[in-house]
Amino acid sequence: MESFSDYYWAGRKGHLIGVGGVSMSPLAEVLSEAGLVITGSDLRDGANIEHLRSVGIKVFIGQKAENIPEDTEFIVRTAAARDDNPEVAEARRRGLPVFERTQAWGAIMKDYRNSLCISGTHGKTTTTSMCTHILMAAERDPTVMIGGTLPLLHANHRVGAGDTIVMEACEYYNSFHAFSPTVAVILNIEKDHMDFFKDLEDVKASFRKFASLVPPRGFIIANAEDPNTMDALKPLDRDIFTFGMNKGADVYAANIQRHGSETEFDVIYCEEVFTHVNLRVPGDHNIKNALAASAAAICLGCSPAAIRYGLAGFAGANRRFEFKGKFNGADIYDDYAHHPRELQVLLDAVKPLGYRRVIVVFQPHTYSRTKEFFNEFVEQLKRPDFCYLAEIYAAREKNTLGISSADLARELPNGQFFADNAELEKTLRAVASPGDIILTVGAGDVYRIGEKLLEN
């Protein structure tokens, strides 16, 4: 089997299918910066495409066989480009190697002294963003790839000249097994992506394989208070560097004080105060994310000041409890939560903020996840004062299960299903009033509902 490392040389010529994606566009830029000749294609234009063109990368809109230049030596495809994609089919016809994007990133990581990979069922984007803030404060000039836009970067990626790369590492389809981490963070492990994994033990085995990729002189960083994570790592018989809210972890929090949506605490390492953190995002889950980022920074040799200043400057990532604006006196926030556990920590974080009413607009993500966690979703969606449900966002799936958001609404005394988002928006206009918080929640396009309110 060919390795992407065989093609990762200046002058080699590659074509990227789906080049406008959040992981593919920075990949194209990194490859171009390394001296490779890169072209790409995508189904639609956009800001990422415009940026790639501005740095000299030729991009085709639409996907067809003739987009691939005659002298192309390899292809990298996004996960959405299946074997029946016309460009993939053309590459196969020509005998060109077709690599997955994670294979390319895994090869690129080997060029960096430090490869920091953030994994976990929940919290990857926020923690990767926090790590980016710390590394920037430490003047490490990192290369970065994040699953959401970070205001600090005005993008979801950064191409740096330093010796450190930091990336999200997703378990879906065992994608992160292609990575080459020197520091691997595992935030938590839960059942998810059951359209691919057989059961929880299969998920744990995937994370264990990922952790095993860390070389002996590297660091495996894990949540000491997550039983699934610690159980998954036990068979490795490796030293684990741990973080947690309480004493007993290698890095933990002490003297926690909450001030509305902000939190301050001491980061304890080697039983001494390593630094003091002022965190501008609410919730215990974000304290844990900050501790994970602090643990990674300690392993990378960052100073206490870099952690303190880096985290003080972090005010959230795109679609992670992101304040969008006010409507009729109500605060509108958007969040990417699409798993019952993510809903739980989001609602836990909102509870102490003192709002008169909590209004959740929830759009489930994929039919399989809605079916698998139906009862858990109902349990969490009963909590807000009002729960308005948009139809399930299909993403990559077809509805072979015959399930709908209407099924969830029938189980909710506070719930109402809307087949039409325009009607949902109309209801929000009538209901919203001062003292309310409106949360648009889900991994699909539910954020547009809040944006429509603010537009008008």
Whether 317 maps to a domain, the answer reads no
Provide the Cα torsion 88, 90, 92, 95; round to 10°. Answer: -130
Residue 21 or 277, more confident = 277
Q: Based on the residue annotation, tell me whether 126 is a catalytic residue of this protein.
A: no
Looking at the fold, whether 326 and 401 belong to one and the same domain comes out as yes
Would 61 be classed as within a structural domain?
yes
Among 231, 171, 238, CA closest to 203: 171
Q: Crossing angle of helices 124-137/284-299, nearest 10°?
A: 50
In a domain, 107, yes or no: no
Q: Say if strands 262-269 and 251-259 run parallel, antiparallel, or are unpaired.
A: antiparallel
CB 219 within 8 A of CB 295: no
Q: 264 and 233, same structural domain?
A: yes
pLDDT tens-digit readout, 65-84:
999 999 999 999 987 788 99
Enter the tokens of residue 435.
């003292």
Which residues, in sequence order, are CB contacts of 295 under 8 Å at separation 6+?
A: 185, 221, 241, 242, 243, 250, 251
CB 220 within 8 A of CB 299: no
**Position 136 in a domain:** yes
Distance CA 133, CA 135 (A): 6
The token duo for 278 is 């002022």
pLDDT at 90: 97
Whether 306 and 204 share a structural domain? yes
Cβ neighbours of residue 93 closer than 8 Å, sequence gap 6 or more: none
> Residue 193 domain-assigned?
yes
CA distance 235 to 278: 37
User: For position 144, which CATH number holds?
Assistant: 3.40.1190.10
282 and 338 part of one domain: no
Q: Are residues 286 and 327 in the same domain?
A: no
Q: Are residues 76 and 146 in the same domain?
A: no
Q: At 26, which CATH number?
A: 3.40.50.720
Is residue 129 within 8 A of residue 166, CB to CB? The reply is no
Question: Alpha-carbon distance 307 to 334, whole Å?
Answer: 27
Nearest to 4 by CA among 162, 179, 139: 179
Structure-token pair, residue 47:
């800001």
**For position 313, what pLDDT does the model report?**
94
Q: Which amino acid is at 131?
A: C
Residue 22 is assigned to a structural domain of this protein: yes
* Burial environment of residue 329 by CB neighbours within 10 A (0 to 12, 13 to 18, 19 or more): exposed
Q: Domain with 450 in it: what CATH number?
A: 3.90.190.20
3-state secondary structure of 255: strand
**Considering only CA atoms, which of 316, 261, 250, 266 is closest in space to residue 284?**
261
The last residue of one of the domains, among 285, 312, 339, is 312
> Residue 1's pLDDT band (boundaries 50, 70, 90)?
low
Active-site residue 58, yes or no?
A: no
In angstroms, rounded to a whole number, what is the distance separating the alpha carbons of residues 292 and 244? 8
Q: How far is CA 313 from CA 97, 154, 174, 279, 305, in A?
A: 43, 14, 33, 8, 12
User: Is the model's pLDDT at 178 over the cut of 70?
Assistant: yes
Percent of the chain with pLDDT over 70: 100
User: What is residue 412's predicted lDDT score, i.e. its pLDDT?
Assistant: 96
pLDDT tens digits along 347-369: 999 999 999 999 999 999 999 99
Query: For 305, which DSSP code?
Result: H
Q: Which of 72, 78, 125, 229 is catalytic?
A: 125
Q: List the structure tokens of 379.
A: 């349990």
- Say if residues 120 and 128 touch (Cβ distance below 8 Å): no
Report the distance separating Cα 272 and Cα 288, nearest Å. Answer: 18
Q: What is the pLDDT of residue 329?
A: 94
- Residue 218: the pLDDT is 97
Is residue 2 among the annotated active site residues? no
Query: Residue written as tokens 């990368």?
Result: 57
Assess whether 329 and 248 both reside in one domain: no
Residues 169, 146: Cα–Cα separation, whole Å: 9
Assign 456 a pLDDT band (cuts: 50, 70, 90): low
Q: Which of 168, 171, 190, 342 is catalytic?
A: 168
In the chain, how many domains are there? 3
Give the residue from 278, 312, 346 where a domain finishes: 312
Query: End-to-end alpha-carbon separation of the chain, Å?
Result: 55
The encoded tokens of residue 386 equal 């009002």
Angle (CA) 419 356 381, round 5°: 40
Range of the domain at 211: 112-312
Q: Are 308 and 326 found together in one domain?
A: no
Last residue of a domain, one of 75, 101, 127: 101
- Residues listed for the chain: 456
Q: Are residues 82 and 159 in the same domain?
A: no
Whether 340 has a pLDDT exceeding 70, the answer reads yes
Residue 395 lies in a domain: yes
- 67 and 20 share one domain: yes
- SS3 label, residue 100: strand
What pLDDT is stored for residue 116 in this prediction? 98
Cα separation, 23 vs 374, whole angstroms: 30
If asked whether residues 231 and 328 sit together in one domain, one would say no
Q: How confident is the model at residue 376 (pLDDT cuts 50, 70, 90)?
A: very high
Same domain for 377 and 290, yes or no, is no
